[in-house]
Structure 1
Amino acid sequence: MSALAIGDHAPWFTSAASASPQDFLMGGYRAVLFFFGSARNPQVKAALADFCAAKSRFEQLGIHFFGVSIDPNDRVLEEKVAQSSFFHWLWDFSGEVSIRYGLCQVGPGGEGITYDPTTFVLNENLRVLNLFPLESHVAHAQQVLAYLETLPSPSAPRVIRQQAPVLLIPQVLSAEFCQRLIRYYQADGGRESGFMRQEGEKTVVVLDPAIKRRRDWLIANPDLVNEINELLSRRVLPEIKKAFQFSVTCFERYVVACYEGTNQGFFQPHRDNTALGTAHRRFALTLNLNEDYAGGELRFPEYGTDLYAPTPGDALVFSCSLLHEATPVNQGQRFVLLSFFYGDEDAKLRQQTQDQIVRSGAVPKAVGNSRIQPDSKAKPGFQSRSKRRSKS
């Protein structure tokens, strides 16, 4: 069974490849990755024949096909398909890559293996759009190709003149998970949310509806926190590492926040790390949970007047140093999952400054540094090594 799910990043790897005189990089285009194990399997052999027959269709769709084998005898496949920039074989003879993808299990004492042939469809950012285990009595290649035909054409390029340095990550949480979080909030009702202000040597938590109108429900259930951590470590942290070259190891807390249309919930322009008690914060996470409301967009006024409104399940990550605001909600309720991320050195700073925070009785005391460890297997993307290069 695959270690990956829809929405996860495909782990990066380096592999020997067929018929390419130079290294090539994955990413920037859609791809089909068929981990088939060995063509000696009759069902695999039939699927490979169908994929090879559809080579021209892959070229028409602009989608690259990669077949991954652990069997050295499969090198003969190079002779069956004319060289194409859209059709490649990858040689995983050590089985290491297949193991990382959760498809190859080695028996006790290294005796025997179990292999689960599976096809992954990846988007331009090497995230899993869909996956298809090889099943009996199912025309595997036709099943995959039918799905490829449903994918929308890539959008036309736009000329971007200016934008805030923010990271938009789609499909982090499923619609069902978003609704679960909303239901938890509704069952609790949340409490009025404040903000931190520096007053002399103390960081004071302030409740001021002229500056911020929002209610928060703090997620305290360890199982739910762990579930969120697992998803974010696979779908958000690799993107932060890739885009900003920063390794997130800790998060401040998770809250489900609600901006109400009845009181035009909002948060005036602010930065998230200007007080001693917040100086440890590196990145803010805003993850929209619903869309049945009006208003409530994010704005980064230092970088123009554009409004940012991720769709449900999508995350927006940005530096806590950026000036930003949550514009008023005019109708309905805007629900959002919020957190702050930071690293090990920042955690030491937070430990030193927590005693300087003054809270009212209505504001819960913060807990210590909470770890969010990225999945060691989910290094973003992969690079394949050509056959010629592998001999050097």
Structure 2
Amino acid sequence: MLRPGQPAPWFVTGSPINPEFAFGSLGGFFTLMVFLPEEPEARADALAQIRASKAVRDQKNIPAFAVARDAATIATAQNEPGLYWFFDPSGAVSRLYYALNSEGAANPHWVLIDPSMRIFAVAGMDQTETLMNVVARLPAPDDHAGVPLHAPVLIVPRVFEPDLCRQLIGFYEGHGGVPSGVMREVQGKTVPVMDSTKRRRDAMIEDETLQALVRHRLQTRLLPEILKAFQFRVSRIERYMVACYDSQGGGFFKPHRDNTTAGTAHRRFACSINLNTEGHDGGELRFPEFGTRTYRPPTGGAVIFSCSLLHEATPVTRGRRYCFLPFFYDEAAAEIRAAYLATQEAQETQGLQNSEGARAQGASPASSAEVPAERAHQTA
């Protein structure tokens, strides 16, 4: 069994509204999961306990997820206030949580997960009443540790001087931004997708002179601080980009992680350098696994954090937030990126060969999405 204090295993599985729900996208609140008994009466009782829980029903801090493995339940399951479903027809999620052993024997039980995505409590079905009493008395998410939590982020002021901040904003205004998507895994490829997760416009910097100017500031003012704080030697920079969150469009970026696809797995640290902190309200960074506190570096200042951390950009409510948003990685991560790109190139080549063969036989080639080539530079 999993024990309190252990990380809750992550998974991707189906739900009534999302065929690929990423469990790792949760965080910032308590989560209750039940691996349902096979007996209809015991199963109905477990669901009734969830529906009767005011803490769950209020949907404020404690969503509950029932894990269904049988086809009949999966076919009829519907989300309702406070009660949601994970579909586990293969039993993979159940095995992660020791609710199904290697021989296929079920071990139904409850799992309560804390806001930092760690196990808070585990209870058998015969302990349901005790567990529900625990749920009813849970503290607010910000208080679950008993002390204030601080996200493991680094804030570094004075990375860009005011003139450079104005120059980068001018670059954006002169070139205009394009709508920004999010990266998703689609048929083994990492591709940009436009959805409701983010509302932002981006302008890529292709001018090598401006890139060099920015890179010099990062090398001399920021990377030494990353080495000192995290003992990580940055050797690669991915993308030179000015982004804009506009209050008129309600600019935001919902909770996400930056390295969860094959094409982004090389990313080690994210960086957000504010270019006009005084020119907007909202648009702050929040790390839900570490509470509701927000982080707002000054103009020209940077906030650095691991790409594995769940984070969000809160909505901009006044003005426009301009920021410079690179990713950092090292030579070991560069090998991961190169291997991914080589795999994609090989698949593209095979796809072209198959298409040529299909044309020779009079068939139409299948279309395929491409992974955008993002510019990366060595820092030295």
What SS does the corresponding residue of 2:320 show, helix, strand or coil? Answer: strand
* Alpha carbons of structure 1 residues 215 and 240: separation in structure 2 relative to 1, 3 Å: same
Give deviations 1:45-82, integer Å, cap 9, x for gaps.
xxxxxxxxxxxxxxxxxxxxxxxxxxxxxxxxxxxxxx
Q: Which amino acid is the alignment partner of residue 238 of structure 1? A: P
Alignment match, 2:336? 349
Per-residue deviation, 1:307: 0.9
Alignment match, 1:261? 247
Per-residue deviation, 1:363: 9.3
Greater fraction helix: 2
Q: Which amino acid is the alignment partner of residue 189 of structure 1? A: G
1:173 aligns with 2:180: no
Alignment match, 1:366? 373
| Structural mapping, 1:58-69, within 5 Å | none
Residues of 1 paired with 2:181 and 2:369: CA distance?
Answer: 10
Q: Any unmatched runs of 5+ in structure 2?
A: 1-146, 348-366
Per-residue deviation, 1:350: 0.8
Per-residue deviation, 1:367: 4.4
Alignment match, 2:200? 214
Give deviations 1:321-369, integer Å, cap 9, x for gaps.
00000011111100000000000011111112236499x9999932454
Per-residue deviation, 1:318: 0.3
Equivalent residues of 2:239, 2:375 under 8 A apart: no
Per-residue deviation, 1:309: 1.0
Q: Which amino acid is the alignment partner of residue 339 of structure 2? A: Q
Residues of 1 paired with 2:159 and 2:215: CA distance?
Answer: 11
Give deviations 1:138-171, integer Å, cap 9, x for gaps.
xxxxxxxxxxxxxxxxxxxxxx832000000011
| Structural mapping, 1:193-208, within 5 Å | 193-208=180-195
Q: Which amino acid is the alignment partner of residue 230 of structure 1? A: H
Residues of 1 paired with 2:204 and 2:197: CA distance?
Answer: 21
Q: Which amino acid is the alignment partner of residue 370 of structure 1? A: H
Equivalent residues of 1:182, 1:335 under 8 A apart: yes
Residues of 1 paired with 2:203 and 2:337: CA distance?
Answer: 22
Using the TM superposition, name which of 197-206 and 328-337 deviates more: 197-206
TM-score by length of 2: 0.53
Q: Which amino acid is the alignment partner of residue 246 of structure 2? A: E
Equivalent residues of 2:182, 2:197 under 8 A apart: no
**Among 262, 284, 292, which residue is 1:305 paired with?**
292
| Structural mapping, 1:199-348, within 5 Å | 199-208=186-195, 210-290=196-276, 291-348=278-335
Equivalent residues of 1:351, 1:369 under 8 A apart: no
Q: Which amino acid is the alignment partner of residue 321 of structure 1? A: S
Equivalent residues of 1:351, 1:368 under 8 A apart: no
Per-residue deviation, 1:226: 0.8
Residues of 2 paired with 1:203 and 1:364: CA distance?
Answer: 6
What SS does the corresponding residue of 2:199 show, helix, strand or coil? Answer: coil
Equivalent residues of 1:347, 1:369 under 8 A apart: no
Residues of 1 paired with 2:199 and 2:369: CA distance?
Answer: 15
- Greater RCO, CA 8 A, separation 6+: 1
Give deviations 1:94-118, integer Å, cap 9, x for gaps.
xxxxxxxxxxxxxxxxxxxxxxxxx
Q: Any unmatched runs of 5+ in structure 1?
A: 1-159, 374-392
Percent of pairs with identical residues: 50
Residues of 2 paired with 1:363 and 1:287: CA distance?
Answer: 29
Residues of 1 paired with 2:369 and 2:243: CA distance?
Answer: 16
- What value does the CA root-mean-square deviation take over the aligned residues? 2.3
Q: How many residues were matched structurally?
A: 212
* Alpha carbons of structure 1 residues 362 and 313: separation in structure 2 relative to 1, 3 Å: farther
Residues of 2 paired with 1:196 and 1:367: CA distance?
Answer: 12
Residues of 2 paired with 1:226 and 1:205: CA distance?
Answer: 27
Give deviations 1:211-251, integer Å, cap 9, x for gaps.
11000000111111111111111111111111111110001
Equivalent residues of 1:277, 1:356 under 8 A apart: no
